Amino acid sequence: MSDSSGRKPPSKPSAPFDIQDQKVRNIGVVFFGLVIPNAAGLIDNAAFTWWQLPLAYAFFVFVAFSIWQGNRALLFYIERRYNWFVYPIQKIILLLTANIVYTTGVVLGLISTWYLMIGAAINWWAIYITIAICVLCVIFITHVYETIFLIKQREADILKNEQLERARMAAQLEALKNQIDPHFMFNSLNTLTHLIEKDVTLAKVYTESLADVYRYILNSKDQKLVWLEEEVSFFDKYLSLLKIRFEESLVVDTLLDQGIDYLIPPISIFFALENVVKHNEISMEHPMRVKVLQQSESLVITNHCRPKKTVQAPSKIGLKNLNERFQLLTGRSVESHTDEVTFELTLPLLKVG
């Protein structure tokens, strides 16, 4: 969306991630509160009594806490307003400036207070050393925080992309599954109309079988994969419709191993056989023989090639949609091979266990 000038509004930076750093902060504050005053020459352990020394170190732990907590708050504030990938230079400059200015101010103020508390002259060299050490430590720790932010952002982006991809695949799959070939509906109703005029009893049987077929289609609509035995059971019902329609003109031989658990996208064999019926001439003069065989972890569907004499060339949309469904659900493609005599279609199966 653009404003009236046609410019795109700046992207809204995301809030910083919740970092569980309480334990690290506690350890770090105590560590720096004990080490830095000794490294910078701010404290002479021999000059204090046994009860004064703990109070002195408690003060420097407070200094370390103020530096860490303040710089952490500044980092989170900047993180909320500047996206690293959108404003990298501005963010680096702003972070360095904030770290240096804030840390320098805290050290100057609190260490000067320290010298006033102990009644000693201010050792500016020790203060300069302390500022340098604290600034370097703050920059290093800020870098660690930023690295954690970037890692978490990367993980969040990967998760978001995976969620978007799953949503896209689900929408694409739903669209493909909704494309039940109108050719099948047209021929089914045509056959039913013919049977009602010719044989009412057979028309009733046909209607019941047709209802079973559509019941399975509706029930499997929300399923990505079904058991092979369920698909074969549905295929038998669909085949009974074709038998009524084509009688002895259509012969289908099946050899499937249902003793092993396999998964397959629903309505797959239906589409494969419907493709045979749609594109080939089937009559008493030219009967069609189809073989549905299981070879290893695939279903192989073979039929004679006897293309219908139509003006329009086949669109192959059905096979394209079938292939897309298999790619989305199994990661494997549907393979097809044709010559002057036969057409062979291979549907991959997913073996369970």
As given in the structure block, the two tokens for residue 64 are 């370390």
Spatial distance between the Cα atoms of 126 and 132, rounded to a whole number of angstroms:
10
Residue 313, pLDDT above cutoff 70: no
Residue 2, pLDDT above cutoff 50: no
Residue 121, pLDDT above cutoff 60: yes
CA distances, 143 to each of 44, 139, 149, 307 (Å): 32, 6, 10, 69
Using one digit for the tens of pLDDT, what is the confidence trace for 53-81?
Answer: 889 899 999 999 999 999 999 988 888 88
Contact 15, 148 (CB under 8 A): no
As given in the structure block, the two tokens for residue 142 are 């800020």
Q: Which residues contact 42 (CB under 8 A, 6 or more apart)?
A: 36, 60, 111, 114, 123, 126, 130
Strands of the sheet with 342-348, listed across from one edge: 250-255, 288-295, 298-304, 342-348, 335-338
Residue 12's pLDDT band, with cuts at 50, 70 and 90, is: very low
Give Cα 128 distance to the centre of its chain: 52
Q: Whole-prediction pTM value?
A: 0.50
φ, ψ at 46 (rounded to 5°) = -75, -15
Section 335-347 average pLDDT: 88
In this prediction, residue 5 carries a pLDDT of: 41
φ, ψ at 298 (rounded to 5°) = -145, 155
In this prediction, residue 7 carries a pLDDT of: 41
